[in-house]
Amino acid sequence: MGKKKETISLIDTFSEFNELKNIDKATLISVLEEAFRNVIAKANGTDENYDIIINPDRGDLEIWRNRVIVEDDELEDPNLQITLSEALTIDDDFEIGEEVTDAVSLDRFGRRTILNLRQTLASKILELEKDNLFNKYKEKVGEIVSGEVYQVWKKEILLLDDEHNELILPKTEQIPSDFFRKGEHVRAVVARVENKNNNPRIILSRTSPVFLERLFEHEIPEIADGLITIKAIARIPGERAKVAVEAYDDRIDPVGACVGMKGFRIHGIVRELRNENIDVINYTNNTTLFIQRALNPARINSITVKEEEMRAEVFLNPEEVSLAIGKGGANIKLASMLTGYNIEVFRDIDEVDEEDIYLDEFRDEIDGWVIDQLKKIGCSTAKNVLNMNRERIIREADLEESTVDEVLAILRYEFEDDDDDEAYDGGYVEEDEIDATGEKTEEVEENEEVEENA
């Protein structure tokens, strides 16, 4: 009775794996046949004379053994041969040299063998399931998937897809304002698939530019149909993004198509990205024009592009500099990411102050990287820096307070020296000839008047 129960349990296992595991029938049959042949070969020395018929739809199998009929006194291998007298009990028409095929019951393998076989099958099919999961999601890298929040941890969120496969959304791949509760459905792009020790780990991302690109493809029919192409994307997740688009048909307005009537189309994307501000611009092969569009809403006076250095110098009116840089430097950072050029902004002043000094002249006193940071916010000369609010320099140039104070002190000292030298150009003045206010004493003025009259 015990063996019968094990046989039924083993057959039930086939049905269970066929129903619950995402494995194709051909692979399932191959695995089961290989497992049984290994058991048969181990018990009898060979499995070549056995036929195994597996029906995964019904969850059962049949094992048939083929043996050659020999004389009763010539039997050498009962696994490969059968005596004539035994064969005649099966069919009266059998003769010497013919082949007899008879069914083999699972019971004959023994209880322990069947238990081991069940464990081997479970392990093998689990391994196949992991391989199948890895290959399935490997092909989905860069695609949007949806999962239900199953567990929320400090550093990551565990999601389950429709087939209850585990997906991981790390904290580093979440938009800063993301907040999910158990049971919520989350959309994200498959960033990568890892496979350590045959344990697949599917990593999702909501901060990747690819996620924004796929959202555009889902929401904008013209992009999905190939009428509009996304040429470049730059993102600061949860804050701001810039998307450059191009239409192959001149009759299509790519920016208007992406934004939609009253922003209807892009609103869905913005909501998905937690109100991330998205700028859509027309792409162009003209580098100068592309940089100009990327720096929108700032109005550019002129641009000098240095192709070999992948650098661009942008000149603007002083009041436009803050627009080009953006809050926290976001606008110029995204423009650089979008165009691939390191963009530096400069104040375009009509009248050049001959007394002003370019910051590069101070590289012996001020670190080069500090000067580069100041130039990025439009301060190319000493007076540019001195005329800007201290707090604004700290914020926009991303410099420490102590560093900014040191720079300001160096620059002020330079101009204070010039003021002292030019304070009096009529000759040498004794120290006691100047009063506390810095003016000449009355006695000195009277002496000078007498000298003039003489």
Which CATH number fits the domain that encloses residue 199? 2.40.50.140
Asked whether residue 245 is assigned to any structural domain, the reply reads no
The answer to whether residues 169 and 78 belong to one domain is: no
Asked whether residue 449 is assigned to any structural domain, the reply reads yes
Answer with the one of 129, 148, 175 that is the final residue of a domain: 129
- Mean pLDDT score across all residues of the chain: 82
Asked whether residue 168 is assigned to any structural domain, the reply reads yes
At a CB cut-off of 8 Å and minimum separation 6, what does 427 contact?
none
The answer to whether residues 47 and 18 belong to one domain is: yes
pLDDT at 353: 58
Residue position matching structure tokens 């330079």: 414
Q: Which domain holds residue 182?
A: 140-207
Question: Are the beta carbons of 291 and 307 closer than 8 angstroms?
Answer: no
Tokens of 256: 């208007």
The answer to whether residues 108 and 40 belong to one domain is: yes
The answer to whether residues 9 and 66 belong to one domain is: yes
Residue position matching structure tokens 């204070």: 416
Asked whether residue 235 is assigned to any structural domain, the reply reads no
When pLDDT is averaged across residues 436-440 and rounded to a whole number, the result is: 42
At a CB cut-off of 8 Å and minimum separation 6, what does 440 contact?
429, 433, 434
- pLDDT tens, 95-135? 888 998 888 877 777 777 777 777 777 787 788 888 888 99
Asked whether residue 318 is assigned to any structural domain, the reply reads no
The answer to whether residues 124 and 184 belong to one domain is: no
Answer with the one of 166, 189, 207 that is the final residue of a domain: 207
C-alpha torsion sign, points 5, 11, 14, 16? negative
Q: Count how many domains the chain has.
A: 3
Note the maximum CA span of the chain: 160
Asked whether residue 159 is assigned to any structural domain, the reply reads yes
The answer to whether residues 90 and 22 belong to one domain is: yes
Answer with the one of 167, 190, 207 that is the final residue of a domain: 207
Of the candidates 280, 278, 206, 297, the one whose C-alpha atom is nearest the C-alpha of residue 240 is 278
> Per-residue confidence at 359, pLDDT binned at 50, 70, 90?
confident
Which CATH number fits the domain that encloses residue 56? 3.30.1480
> Per-residue confidence at 23, pLDDT binned at 50, 70, 90?
low
The answer to whether residues 175 and 87 belong to one domain is: no
The answer to whether residues 102 and 170 belong to one domain is: no
The rounded percent of the chain whose pLDDT value lies above 70 is 84
The answer to whether residues 146 and 78 belong to one domain is: no
Asked whether residue 108 is assigned to any structural domain, the reply reads yes
- pLDDT tens, 226-281? 999 999 999 999 999 999 999 988 889 999 999 988 888 899 999 999 999 999 99
Q: How far apart are CA 175 and CA 49, in angstroms?
A: 62
pTM, two decimal places? 0.65
Question: Are the beta carbons of 326 and 294 closer than 8 angstroms?
Answer: no
Question: Are the beta carbons of 105 and 148 closer than 8 angstroms?
Answer: no
Task: With a cut of 70, say whether residue 423 has pLDDT above it.
Answer: no
The answer to whether residues 96 and 183 belong to one domain is: no
Residue position matching structure tokens 């030019």: 422
Question: Are the beta carbons of 276 and 216 closer than 8 angstroms?
Answer: no
Asked whether residue 353 is assigned to any structural domain, the reply reads no
The rounded percent of the chain whose pLDDT value lies above 90 is 38
The answer to whether residues 31 and 78 belong to one domain is: yes
Q: How far apart are CA 51 and CA 273, in angstroms?
A: 59
Could you tell me which residues are beta bridge partners of residue 453?
none
Tokens of 182: 């158990």
pLDDT at 57: 66
pLDDT at 434: 39
Phi-psi region of 60 (alpha: psi -120 to 50; beta: other; left: phi over 0): beta
The answer to whether residues 100 and 13 belong to one domain is: yes
